[in-house]
Chain A
Amino acid sequence: MGHEKIMGHDIDNTGTNPLTGRRRVWKEYQKVIPSDKYFYVRSCIRQNIFPASEVHFLKIMREALGKDVYENPHHTTCSGIGYHSDVVPLETSMTIVARQFALMAEAGYENLAVSCITSFGLYTEFLETWQHFPHIRERIAEKLYRATGRELVLPKCVAHASDIIYALRDEISQKAKYRLVNKNTGEPLRIVEHIGCHYAKMFPSKGVGGAEYPCVLSGMVDAWGGQIVDYPERRQCCGFGFRQYLVQANRGYSISNTKKKFDSMEPYHPDAIIANCPGCPYFMDRWQYVIAEMEGKTYGENGFGIPVLTYEELAGLVLGYDPWDLGLQVHQTSVEPLLDKMGIEYDPSQKYKGLDGKDLGRPEEPRVLKTELCPHCL
């Protein structure tokens, strides 16, 4: 890089849109994301903690955008959660992952769409390892064959599901029923993005926008009319971190990390947080309740929390899906403040009704954190 370019960093206070700088970084980290024909692999935990996110990824892809996304019921856990908590050996994990790839090839697909960040990180890590250590790949291929009779075929592309929504963000924007705009003020909503650590921190070149300034989520927010909030602790871990959470003795790290992030973003008054990891939205959502109970501290307006959504839930809201179909009643931090700002129509009486219309039961009211804001729902 020549000296001139560095001197060209404008110090004359003209034309200094900070995005210019980010765009420059993003140019370095663009990956090929096919817009169609995916083999989808689900996460182990997301169906429990954000139950409708994966369904809505498929709905958005298949119904709203007319894409071909195939799911095979025989796919299993990638075993990443066991690998990272030291109960599944590396070779076992690799063979399990090799089997997922084999299933995809057998179904006639070349592009893998991964729901979970840990899985995405693991697939990426193994593909990199196999590239640099071919003898390991051969050994795993042999193990796969002996165990299942299947052949190891490497995918052409591994995309995280958020990569795909990012790639299709403008198509979604064109079909949007709601925008990330405060209907009362006309101002763009302030959204905090949180990227799962295993998305690009291990392999920056595998994430859209790299590790330091990823644009996979901020790109969506931009396209859908919102405004991204960059705050000092943006890059920090949400606090999940397998070792931090799985061992109860370490769980203090988890909540402390989350609190550190909330303290840092608080002055920006974010209207919502979106994340692309299974753990991050879960922890940022649930810990708000725990922090409130422990220290009486809340981060949203008037004693409420800051709504935390998965990117599929946000895309679903933008496309006009019913919030309760999107599973937003399962969030511990109420999403109603966001729904009201976006001007989304919803029926409060349906919040705790299941798909079959039966009552799901109401959660106990927290002592500190306020929930269910809207005036007509209390």
Chain B
Amino acid sequence: MIDFGYGITRSNRLNLDEADLTLARKMARREKSFGTCIGCGTCTAGCTAGHFTAYNPRKIQLMILNGQTENLKEDLEKCMLCGRCQMLCPRGISLRSLWSKLYRALDAPHKTPSVTRDIF
């Protein structure tokens, strides 16, 4: 290899054609309000965890839709499941339910509120 003093830069773009959308499809099946977000950011503005960290419930939904799921588990660790996002959402998205189902889909059992499962 010759060092020319410069390199070939790889694309910084997300290639949606090649993105792995398994999780997005799974979530769409499991939570019917998933995918109805209009991105107004009220959830994030009111998020108690988002006040102190970069946690952004609005963005998490987009990242799932874009297949960017590598760091999702760590991001979700920041959520305290207080449910304020759900109270605020103008689209009426069941965000707490969405997070719970997401924990399960990502196999994050220590955060899975198993106790409410299956009663209804």
Contacts and interface: CB of A to CB of B under 8 A. Distances in A.
B114 A86 contact: yes
B74 to A, nearest CB: 13
B115 A87 contact: yes
Interface in A240-265: 241, 243-244, 250, 252-253, 256-257, 260
B119 A244 contact: no
Contacts, number: 39
Contact of A243 (B80, B87, B119, B120): B80
A237 B87 CA distance: 14
Interface stretch (B10-18, B25-33, B46-54, B60-68): B46-54
A89 interface: yes
Contact of B82 (A90, A237, A252): A237
Interface in B65-83: 80-82
B87 A241 contact: no
A68 interface: no
Contacts of B87: 201
B9 interface: no
Interface residues of A, number: 22
B80 A90 contact: no
Nearest to A88: B115
A91 interface: yes
A86 B115 contact: yes
Contacts of B51: 256-257, 260
A256 B116 CA distance: 29
Contacts of B48: 236-237, 241, 253, 257
A244 B49 CA distance: 10
- Helix, strand, loop or mixed for chain B's interface? loop
Interface string B38-49: 000000000011
B113 interface: yes
Interface string A107-149: 0000000000000000000000000010010000000000000
A324 interface: no
Given A256-B52, A257-B48, A133 B80 contact: no
Interface string B84-114: 0001000000000000000000000000011
Contacts of B81: 243
Contact of B115 (A83, A237, A243): A83
B80 A250 contact: yes
Contacts of A241: 48, 80, 82
A236 B49 CA distance: 12
8 contacts: A86-B114, A87-B115, A88-B115, A89-B114, A90-B119, A241-B48, A243-B80, A256-B51
Interface of B: 48-49, 51-52, 80-82, 87, 113-116, 119-120
Given A86-B113, A243-B81, A256-B52, 14 more contacts: A83-B115, A86-B114, A88-B115, A89-B114, A89-B116, A90-B115, A133-B120, A136-B119, A197-B82, A237-B82, A250-B80, A252-B52, A253-B49, A260-B51
